Amino acid sequence: MKTKAFYLFSLVLISLTLFSCSDEDDYGNYIFDFAPYNIIVAVQDTAGNDLLASEQFNDTRFEYSGTIYNIVDSLNDMNLQTRTFMEHYFYGLRKLMGQDGYYILSFGEFSGEEDVTDEQIIIHWGDGTTDNLSFSNYTKVKNKKAIIDRTIKVNGKLVEDTRVSRDLHVVIVK
Protein backbone atom coordinates (compact mmCIF):
# COMPACT_ATOMS: atom_id res chain seq x y z
CA MET A 1 0.00 0.00 0.00
CA LYS A 2 2.82 2.37 0.90
CA THR A 3 4.46 1.50 -2.44
CA LYS A 4 1.30 2.42 -4.40
CA ALA A 5 0.98 5.70 -2.50
CA PHE A 6 4.66 6.42 -3.13
CA TYR A 7 4.27 5.73 -6.90
CA LEU A 8 1.08 7.81 -7.06
CA PHE A 9 2.77 10.68 -5.21
CA SER A 10 5.81 10.40 -7.51
CA LEU A 11 3.57 10.41 -10.60
CA VAL A 12 1.76 13.55 -9.43
CA LEU A 13 5.04 15.27 -8.58
CA ILE A 14 6.58 14.40 -11.98
CA SER A 15 3.41 15.55 -13.78
CA LEU A 16 3.45 18.89 -11.98
CA THR A 17 7.11 19.33 -12.80
CA LEU A 18 6.68 18.53 -16.50
CA PHE A 19 3.52 20.58 -17.09
CA SER A 20 4.11 23.58 -14.83
CA CYS A 21 4.79 27.11 -16.05
CA SER A 22 8.21 27.86 -17.43
CA ASP A 23 10.34 30.96 -17.66
CA GLU A 24 10.56 30.63 -21.44
CA ASP A 25 9.26 33.36 -23.72
CA ASP A 26 5.54 32.94 -24.31
CA TYR A 27 5.56 35.07 -27.49
CA GLY A 28 3.48 32.43 -29.25
CA ASN A 29 0.51 33.32 -27.03
CA TYR A 30 0.35 36.93 -28.31
CA ILE A 31 -1.79 37.97 -31.26
CA PHE A 32 -0.93 41.29 -32.90
CA ASP A 33 -3.56 42.99 -35.02
CA PHE A 34 -2.16 46.07 -36.77
CA ALA A 35 -4.80 48.73 -37.47
CA PRO A 36 -5.39 49.74 -41.09
CA TYR A 37 -4.46 53.27 -42.11
CA ASN A 38 -5.41 55.93 -44.66
CA ILE A 39 -3.55 58.64 -46.53
CA ILE A 40 -5.13 61.97 -45.46
CA VAL A 41 -4.60 65.04 -47.66
CA ALA A 42 -5.69 68.59 -46.83
CA VAL A 43 -5.33 71.38 -49.40
CA GLN A 44 -4.86 75.01 -48.33
CA ASP A 45 -3.72 78.28 -49.80
CA THR A 46 -0.84 80.24 -48.27
CA ALA A 47 -3.28 82.00 -45.91
CA GLY A 48 -4.51 78.63 -44.55
CA ASN A 49 -7.92 78.69 -46.27
CA ASP A 50 -9.51 75.31 -47.02
CA LEU A 51 -9.36 74.89 -50.81
CA LEU A 52 -11.28 71.61 -50.76
CA ALA A 53 -14.36 73.52 -49.54
CA SER A 54 -14.67 74.99 -53.05
CA GLU A 55 -15.64 73.01 -56.13
CA GLN A 56 -12.28 73.77 -57.77
CA PHE A 57 -10.78 70.44 -56.70
CA ASN A 58 -13.83 68.18 -57.18
CA ASP A 59 -12.21 66.69 -60.31
CA THR A 60 -9.17 65.55 -58.32
CA ARG A 61 -8.02 61.98 -59.04
CA PHE A 62 -5.45 59.73 -57.38
CA GLU A 63 -3.36 57.36 -59.50
CA TYR A 64 -2.15 54.33 -57.56
CA SER A 65 -0.74 51.04 -58.87
CA GLY A 66 -1.84 51.85 -62.42
CA THR A 67 -5.47 52.60 -61.43
CA ILE A 68 -7.17 56.01 -61.43
CA TYR A 69 -9.44 56.72 -58.45
CA ASN A 70 -12.07 59.46 -58.63
CA ILE A 71 -13.62 60.99 -55.53
CA VAL A 72 -16.49 58.87 -54.19
CA ASP A 73 -19.30 61.23 -53.25
CA SER A 74 -20.81 59.35 -50.33
CA LEU A 75 -20.82 56.15 -48.35
CA ASN A 76 -23.83 55.07 -50.44
CA ASP A 77 -21.55 54.82 -53.47
CA MET A 78 -19.33 52.26 -51.72
CA ASN A 79 -19.83 48.55 -51.26
CA LEU A 80 -19.40 48.46 -47.47
CA GLN A 81 -18.69 45.17 -45.73
CA THR A 82 -18.92 44.00 -42.15
CA ARG A 83 -15.49 44.14 -40.55
CA THR A 84 -13.95 41.61 -38.24
CA PHE A 85 -10.88 42.32 -36.16
CA MET A 86 -8.90 45.07 -37.89
CA GLU A 87 -9.38 43.74 -41.39
CA HIS A 88 -8.91 46.57 -43.85
CA TYR A 89 -11.35 47.56 -46.58
CA PHE A 90 -10.13 49.69 -49.46
CA TYR A 91 -12.62 52.55 -49.85
CA GLY A 92 -10.72 54.39 -52.58
CA LEU A 93 -10.71 58.20 -52.62
CA ARG A 94 -13.22 60.06 -50.44
CA LYS A 95 -13.80 63.72 -49.67
CA LEU A 96 -14.74 64.05 -46.00
CA MET A 97 -15.09 66.71 -43.33
CA GLY A 98 -12.12 66.43 -40.99
CA GLN A 99 -12.30 66.75 -37.22
CA ASP A 100 -10.92 70.29 -37.40
CA GLY A 101 -13.74 71.45 -39.73
CA TYR A 102 -11.60 71.38 -42.88
CA TYR A 103 -12.33 69.10 -45.81
CA ILE A 104 -9.85 66.31 -46.43
CA LEU A 105 -9.21 63.71 -49.08
CA SER A 106 -8.97 60.23 -47.55
CA PHE A 107 -7.37 57.44 -49.59
CA GLY A 108 -7.37 53.87 -48.33
CA GLU A 109 -7.62 51.85 -46.16
CA PHE A 110 -4.30 50.06 -46.40
CA SER A 111 -3.39 46.96 -44.41
CA GLY A 112 -1.45 47.85 -41.28
CA GLU A 113 0.32 44.48 -41.40
CA GLU A 114 1.73 44.76 -44.91
CA ASP A 115 5.23 46.19 -45.19
CA VAL A 116 5.54 48.59 -48.14
CA THR A 117 8.37 50.89 -49.20
CA ASP A 118 7.90 54.07 -51.21
CA GLU A 119 4.49 53.20 -52.65
CA GLN A 120 3.67 55.91 -55.19
CA ILE A 121 0.47 57.98 -55.54
CA ILE A 122 0.14 60.68 -58.19
CA ILE A 123 -2.46 63.33 -57.38
CA HIS A 124 -4.06 64.79 -60.50
CA TRP A 125 -5.61 68.07 -59.39
CA GLY A 126 -8.63 69.53 -61.16
CA ASP A 127 -6.51 72.49 -62.33
CA GLY A 128 -4.18 70.25 -64.38
CA THR A 129 -1.25 70.18 -61.93
CA THR A 130 0.08 67.08 -60.15
CA ASP A 131 1.76 66.22 -56.87
CA ASN A 132 3.53 62.99 -55.97
CA LEU A 133 3.08 61.16 -52.68
CA SER A 134 5.12 58.19 -51.55
CA PHE A 135 4.48 56.26 -48.37
CA SER A 136 6.05 53.42 -46.43
CA ASN A 137 4.76 51.13 -43.70
CA TYR A 138 6.97 48.88 -41.60
CA THR A 139 5.77 46.66 -38.76
CA LYS A 140 7.82 44.46 -36.47
CA VAL A 141 7.36 42.70 -33.16
CA LYS A 142 10.30 42.93 -30.77
CA ASN A 143 10.32 41.91 -27.11
CA LYS A 144 6.55 41.37 -27.17
CA LYS A 145 5.98 44.95 -28.38
CA ALA A 146 4.71 46.09 -31.74
CA ILE A 147 6.89 48.59 -33.60
CA ILE A 148 5.17 50.55 -36.36
CA ASP A 149 7.03 53.00 -38.60
CA ARG A 150 4.96 54.91 -41.18
CA THR A 151 6.32 57.71 -43.33
CA ILE A 152 4.99 59.85 -46.16
CA LYS A 153 6.70 62.17 -48.64
CA VAL A 154 5.25 64.93 -50.80
CA ASN A 155 7.19 65.50 -54.02
CA GLY A 156 10.17 63.66 -52.48
CA LYS A 157 10.23 65.67 -49.22
CA LEU A 158 9.60 63.78 -45.97
CA VAL A 159 6.60 65.12 -44.04
CA GLU A 160 7.06 65.41 -40.28
CA ASP A 161 3.68 64.33 -38.92
CA THR A 162 3.13 65.41 -35.31
CA ARG A 163 -0.42 64.03 -35.01
CA VAL A 164 -1.08 61.01 -32.88
CA SER A 165 -2.96 58.91 -35.39
CA ARG A 166 -2.68 55.68 -37.28
CA ASP A 167 -3.20 57.61 -40.56
CA LEU A 168 -0.61 59.49 -42.60
CA HIS A 169 -1.47 63.23 -42.81
CA VAL A 170 -0.20 65.80 -45.28
CA VAL A 171 -1.15 69.40 -46.01
CA ILE A 172 -0.52 70.58 -49.56
CA VAL A 173 -0.33 74.32 -50.15
CA LYS A 174 -1.57 75.50 -53.55
Does pTM top 0.85 for this prediction? no
Answer yes or no: is pLDDT of 15 > 80. Answer: no
pLDDT tens-digit readout, 41-91: 999 999 999 999 988 888 999 999 999 999 986 554 445 454 555 567 888
Write the CA distances from 144 to 38, 43, 111, 114, 150, integer angstroms.
Answer: 26, 39, 21, 19, 20
pLDDT tens-digit readout, 119-134: 999 999 988 899 999 9
The predicted structure's pLDDT at residue 73: 67
Kindly report the average pLDDT of the chain as a whole number: 82
R_g (Cα) of the chain, nearest Å? 25
Query: Which of 123, 124, 88 lies closest to 108 in space, CA to CA?
Result: 88
CA-CA distance, 32 to 2, in Å (whole number)? 52
Question: How confident is residue 165, by pLDDT bands cut at 50, 70 and 90?
Answer: confident
The predicted structure's pLDDT at residue 58: 87
Q: Which of 46-60, 129-143, 153-167 shows the lowest per-residue confidence on average (mean pLDDT)?
A: 153-167
Sign of CA dihedral 149, 85, 98, 103: positive
Q: DSSP state, 50?
A: B
The predicted structure's pLDDT at residue 51: 92
- The CA dihedral of 111, 116, 118, 123, to the nearest 10 degrees, is -20
